[in-house]
Amino acid sequence: APLDVVLDLGELASTPDPAPGKRAFAEYDNYYPLAPATWQGREAEILALTDKAAIADLHERQPWKLMSWRDAARSLSYRRFFEVTGLVGMRVEDKTVFDDTHRLILELVRTGAVDGLRIDHIDGLADPKAYLARLRQEVGPACYITVEKILAKGEQLPDDWPVSGTTGYEFIASLAEVLVDEEQIDNLHKAY
């Protein structure tokens, strides 16, 4: 529902997020973290908010915006990945962002809990080669790294990317050419 409707229904509240214990907006069982600068030093006041205008004002001061999924396609900002509302762009070329977003992943690899990584949407990065070089440096040569990259016919994965290969979409495409009878494609479309 649009934010004004959510506010009218009293469905948005300021509350501690049970996981990290920081301040957040809660809508049912979803928690949206509040930027610390918008609540630090005012914790009690923020937790006591019930006025719709005050809640709306606090929402406006966040670096993100709650919106109905119906509005997402025309209102998504540059921080979104395509129209997938659950994915956001991360500036992993920034060392601090890389370190913060990869802390758990790197720990899992270093402790042996994980021995391979799949990197999705590699072409969406500002510098895929530099990212992969940094990742390889962090996880070491034994970690199996694949990238999700849909290669065009005849296209090769860059030789200077320190990865084990792709996730295999090009193989699936080749296999489909073998297994699908082109003369029966109309029947396949009808069945689908």
For the chain, percent of residues with pLDDT exceeding 90: 41
* Mean pLDDT computed over 44-53: 89
Q: What is the pTM of this model?
A: 0.59
- Higher per-residue pLDDT: 157 or 76: 157
Three-class DSSP labels, the chain: CCHHHHHHCCCCEEEECCCCCCEEEEECCEEEECCHHHCCCCHHHHHCCCCHHHHHHHHHCCCCCCCCHHHHHHHCCCCEECCEEEEECCCCCCHHHHHHHHHHHHHHHHCCCCCEEEECCHHHCCCHHHHHHHHHHHHCCCCEEEECCCCCCCCCCCCCCCCCEECCHHHHHHHHHHHCCHHHHHHHHHHC
Rounded CA-CA distance 120/77 in Å is 21
| Tens digits of residue pLDDT in 80-118 | 555 566 667 788 999 999 999 999 999 999 999 999 999
Supply the mean pLDDT for the chain.
87
* Residue given tokens 């004002």 in the structure block: 57
- Evaluate if residue 54 carries a pLDDT over 80: yes
For the chain, percent of residues with pLDDT exceeding 70: 91
| Tens digits of residue pLDDT in 15-41 | 888 877 788 898 888 888 899 999 888
Where exactly are the structural domains of the chain? Answer: 3-85, 115-191
- Evaluate if residue 119 carries a pLDDT over 70: yes
- Weakest-pLDDT range from 38-52, 133-147, 172-186: 172-186
Model confidence band, residue 189 (pLDDT cutoffs 50, 70, 90) = confident
- Higher per-residue pLDDT: 2 or 122: 122
Rounded CA-CA distance 24/157 in Å is 43
Rounded CA-CA distance 23/13 in Å is 10
- Weakest-pLDDT range from 21-35, 46-60, 131-145: 21-35
